[in-house]
Amino acid sequence: MADPAWLADAAARLRSPVEPRSDGFDQRIVAAVHRDRSVRRARRRVGIGAAVLAALAAVWAGPARSPRTTVEFEINAPTAERVSLVGDFNNWDQGAVPMRRGARPGQWRTTVPLPNGWYRYAFLVDQSRWIADPAKSIAPDADFGQPTSLLVVE
Amino acid sequence: MWLMILLVATVPGQLWQQRDPRLWARLPASVAGQIQLLADSAVRVRLPAEPLIQKALEGHSKGAPGDRIVTAVAALLRALESARSALGPSAVESEIMAGAEWLRAGGTAPHLTGLRRTAPTRQLAAAIAMGTDLMTRGWTENDAAAATDRFLTAKATDRDFLLLRDRIEQAVRAGSSPKAAVLSEVRRLESGDRRP
């Protein structure tokens, strides 16, 4: 028995390619997919950019700092009005680390957090007299005619 | 675009390396220029430049004239080169600086090489610092190197080396000689006594 006309028509419609709907629904779906891809591409670029900037920042900042040890410095200078701690760790800046009077008469103290390393330093008394630290090693050279101490922080 | 960012980000860093602002802010330009050349030559041969910069700043802070600062920095650069050569290419910055101090205390390169041979894989900065300390206290280089070598052989830790100076002070205050104190410590370590 032959198919009814409506069935043959339906079969023909199913075999034919689907045309986009005229209301633009398919176009909106396709556009949304494209938008989603663009957003993901943009996000990926931003991520790569952030990673590159972080790497550059790390290079700019130099190697990671090692843990710091708090080192205590102490000197006995009974007649001093002012004592400073000056050395490699403060670029030999005479004003960077002023010392405080300690509990004992004539005692001057300070503490400095230092990363592991090798340091040279001295005490500057009243902006005029350099004194090596009697509690530490004396630097062997005296290039500038003033005593210097050595400190190894491990 | 990333190439542009890379260029913009790295060029100032390289300029900073070529011209250390600490030198130019505090030293006369002619002195800063000479120190900068020495520091740059250190970097070219992969030696640490920072000790040279600090030596120059130390000289300035201590009121030394410019020519004396340049002479001191040049001498330190030579000592760093000799120390690295004696300790081998694997020497790290603190070892090279310790080795330079050893040489400037009157020590010689063969003894540094000998210490490296005794302990090829461990950090030697604290050990060399102890040996240098002994030399600045009047020990001969042979005695200082022998004591350091014995400590290394006895597997002394960096902490042992750093504590040694305090032990010497205590022993000397108690009436002992520094040499006797060191030998006592060596014997203690060789017997396996690891008490602090």
> SS3 for chain B, per residue?
CHHHHHHHHHHHHHHHHHCCHHHHHHCCHHHHHHHHHHHHHHHHCCCCCHHHHHHHHHHHHCCCCHHHHHHHHHHHHHHHHHHHHHHCCCCCHHHHHHHHHHHHCCCCHHHHHHHHHHCCCCCCHHHHHHHHHHHHCCCCHHHHHHHHHHHHHCCCCHHHHHHHHHHHHHHHHCCCCHHHHHHHHHHHHHCCCCCC
As a whole number of angstroms, the distance between CA B191 and CA A46 comes to 62
The predicted structure's pLDDT at residue A81: 94
Size of interface A-B (CB pairs under 8 A): 101
Kindly state whether B170 is in contact with chain A, defined as any CB-CB distance less than 8 angstroms: no
By C-alpha distance, which of B6, B12, B7, B13 is closest to A52?
Answer: B6
Measured CB to CB, residues of chain A less than 8 Å from chain B are 48-49, 52-53, 56, 59-60, 86, 88, 91-94, 116-118, 120, 130, 136-141, 143-146, 148, 150, 152, 154
> Which chain A residues are within 8 Å of B105, Cβ to Cβ?
140-141
Q: How far away is chain B from the Cα of A108, in angstroms, using its nearest Cα?
A: 20
Q: Which residue has the higher pLDDT, B144 or B5?
A: B144
Sign of the dihedral through C-alpha B189, B193, B194, B196: negative
Contact A152 B55 (CB under 8 A): no
Q: Give mean pLDDT, residues B142-161.
A: 86
Mean pLDDT for chain A overall: 80
Q: Give mean pLDDT, residues B52-72.
A: 95
User: What's the whole-model pTM score?
Assistant: 0.72
pLDDT tops 70 at residue A22: no
Please answer whether residues B116 and B134 qualify as being in contact, where contact means their C-beta atoms are separated by less than 8 angstroms: no
Contact B101 A139 (CB under 8 A): yes
B166 to A107, B88, B138, B158: CA distances (angstroms): 20, 30, 17, 14
Please answer whether residues A150 and A122 qualify as being in contact, where contact means their C-beta atoms are separated by less than 8 angstroms: no
The one-letter amino acid code at B8 reads V
The DSSP call for residue A138 is E
The DSSP call for residue A104 is S
Kindly state whether B55 is in contact with chain A, defined as any CB-CB distance less than 8 angstroms: yes
Query: What are the tokens at A8?
Result: 């043959």
| 3-state SS assignment for residue A90 | helix
pLDDT band at A135 (very low <50, low <70, confident <90, very high): confident
Q: What are the tens digits of pLDDT across the range A52-95?
A: 666 665 555 544 456 788 999 999 999 999 999 999 999 999 99
Find which of A133, A137, A153 to mutate to test the B interface (most B CBs within 10 Å of its CB): A137
> Which chain A residues are within 8 Å of B135, Cβ to Cβ?
140
The predicted structure's pLDDT at residue B68: 95
